[in-house]
Chains A and B, each alone.
Chain A
Amino acid sequence: MSGYYASILQGALLTVGVSLAALVFAVLLGLAGAAAKLSGRPVLVTLATVYTTLVRGVPELVLMLLIFYGGTIGLNNLLEALGSKATVDINPFAAGVLTIGFIYGAYMTETFRGAILSIPKGQMEAAWAFGMGRVRTFLRITAPQMVRYALPGFTNNWLVLIKATALISLIGLQEMTYLAKQASSATREPFTFFIFAAGLFLVYTSVSLWVLRKLERRFSMGVKRGRV
């Protein structure tokens, strides 16, 4: 019996790994998407809008199934058409990370876009007046201030992302939820194991919330808050 608990804990590590990897992907996509939407160039803006609309219009589970089952067949057919004998297998870990990163990239796009728009325009203008190039302006002026405005939305997106990783169990990745389900069917004790998995998720979200609240406080140092 304890073997099941140990394996679920190992699955918890996998959950943490998937969520962090997906976060990196989502942040990168979010920055790219926000840049595209704010660039003003019609092609980029349309592309980014189609991306966010599609992602927010289709359930995560359906996207995951599409990428996992359809993606492998599609890639393999492509390889066959190109004449190669190699077979590509998108394993559940990669499919999960890709899908979740892709989906939350869209939500991060909206968060980052809102955050960048909140920065007073004068800051960027002053940077350009000083002769700073685009990249330097972004790294030294925009990004640090954007982080402060983006943190509440980022926290929200991160918490939802953690919970979405439970869906990867449905495409076969052996993370917490999958192992809890198998353990519960084999031992006929679903309540025990699912409460255990739920508890682990609660621990994860609580720790994340604590860390991000600390970050919020650090990034808001020196900012005047009105007394209510």
Chain B
Amino acid sequence: MKILFLSLSLIGAAALVGCGKTETPAPAAPASETSAAPAPAVLPELKVAIDPTYEPFTFKTSDGKPTGFDVDIAEALCNEIKRKCVYVEQVWDSMIPGLQAKKYDVIISSMSITDDRKKVVDFTDKYYNTPSRIVVRTDTPFTDLNSLKGKSIGVLKGSTQEKYAMGDLKPVGVRVVPYEAQDQVYLDIKSGRLDGTVADSVEVTGGFLRKPEGQGYGFVGPVLNDVKYFGYGVGIALRQGETALRDELNAGIKAIRANGVYESISKKYFDFDVYGE
């Protein structure tokens, strides 16, 4: 009896102590190495929310390290404002509620600045701007949006593309299916359940079209950047009222645009200017 209770409590204590790690550590960028070496002071943490299913902006390597354009920009900004980036993974459609629940401080995960979102969160200035496109098989006959009638199009739940699809595609008879993560959309396109998707043009190129399963798929239809659905570019979201942090981050964005860090990060992933106009 005593042995049973003792062993149960030991196991429980060991479990509680040993298994508290739930957040992925920040990737070892050169910036943090140089700042860690001489300074004995511990930098205050900045909890950054990411949805790592959005290649090439936010994704994870096979050993679980967050990587991508958004993550590198986050690291550069943290370096500028002298904080330590700690990444918290979050499903896309609970990004904003999680921010409001103070689970993290900022969202740096390709979140578009829209009027709807501005009602509940604050945004910094944009740090990139790319349009969205509809992607289906290239041999699909296409004249205008009505030619997509009856097709199944997958979108990310809670995204600007979902709003567009529900607003402009559903009324013409397209079957819009919301998914929890963008890469699950690609999984179902690959298996044949979906006919296509509406997604950010750069993301779908890097995450799907350039991969073997993307063969035979391509853009159709107009370039989608209607402000009503897609907003004014991608920025960093913060809780309303955090003006100090917002000003710091805005200054940081200006700084990395000026000193060439932004360009070097951008060249790592893209061969065009992703900042947009």
Contact = CB atoms under 8 A, between A and B. Distances in A.
Q: Does A touch B (CB under 8 Å) in the complex?
A: yes
Interface of A: 1-4, 6-7, 13-14, 16-18, 20-21, 23-24, 27, 69, 72-73, 76, 87, 89, 91-93, 139, 143-144, 147, 172-174, 179, 182-186, 188, 190
Interface in B26-82: 52-53, 55, 59-64
Interface in B1-47: 1, 4, 8-9, 11-12, 14-16, 18-24
Interface of B: 1, 4, 8-9, 11-12, 14-16, 18-24, 52-53, 55, 59-64, 89-91, 94, 97-98, 100-103, 181, 183-184, 186-187, 190, 213
Contacts of B89: 172, 174
A72 B100 CA distance: 10
Given A17-B19, A20-B11, A144-B1, A188 B213 contact: yes
B11 A87 contact: no
B98 to A, nearest CB: 8
B59 A72 contact: no
B12 A173 contact: no
A72 B102 contact: yes
Given A182-B52, A182-B53, A92 B22 contact: yes
A56 to B, nearest CB: 24
Nearest to B62: A3
Given A73-B101, A87-B102, 11 more contacts: A13-B19, A14-B21, A17-B19, A18-B15, A20-B15, A21-B15, A76-B102, A184-B187, A185-B181, A186-B53, A186-B62
In order of increasing CB-CB distance, the 9 nearest A-B pairs are A17-B19, A3-B62, A24-B12, A185-B183, A3-B63, A20-B15, A21-B15, A17-B15, A87-B102
B64 A21 contact: no
B102 A89 contact: yes
Given A17-B19, A72-B102, A91-B22, A182 B8 contact: no
Tell me what chain B mostly uses at the interface: helix, strand, loop, or mixed.
mixed
B74 to A, nearest CB: 19
B16 A7 contact: no
A174 B22 contact: yes
26 contacts: A3-B61, A6-B63, A7-B62, A16-B15, A17-B15, A17-B18, A18-B19, A20-B11, A20-B14, A21-B19, A23-B12, A24-B15, A69-B101, A72-B102, A72-B103, A73-B101, A89-B102, A93-B20, A173-B22, A182-B52, A183-B62, A184-B187, A185-B181, A185-B186, A188-B186, A188-B213
A33 B183 CA distance: 45
B68 to A, nearest CB: 12
A73 B190 CA distance: 39
A185 B22 contact: no
Contacts of A23: 8, 12
A91 B90 CA distance: 12
Contacts of B97: 69
Contacts of B24: 174
A3 B19 contact: no
Contact of B184 (A17, A91, A143, A185): A185
A173 B23 CA distance: 9
A16 to B, nearest CB: 7
A4 B61 CA distance: 9
A147 B8 CA distance: 13
A121 B104 CA distance: 55
Given A13-B19, A182-B52, A185-B181, A7 B64 contact: yes
A31 B240 CA distance: 46
Contacts of A184: 187
A173 B19 CA distance: 11
B102 A186 contact: no
Contacts of B21: 14
Contacts of A69: 94, 97-98, 101
Contacts of B18: 17
Contact of B100 (A1, A73, A89): A73
Contacts of A18: 15, 19
Given A16-B15, A93-B22, A174-B89, A24 B187 contact: no
A29 B14 CA distance: 19
Nearest to A20: B15
Nearest to A139: B1
A72 B19 contact: no
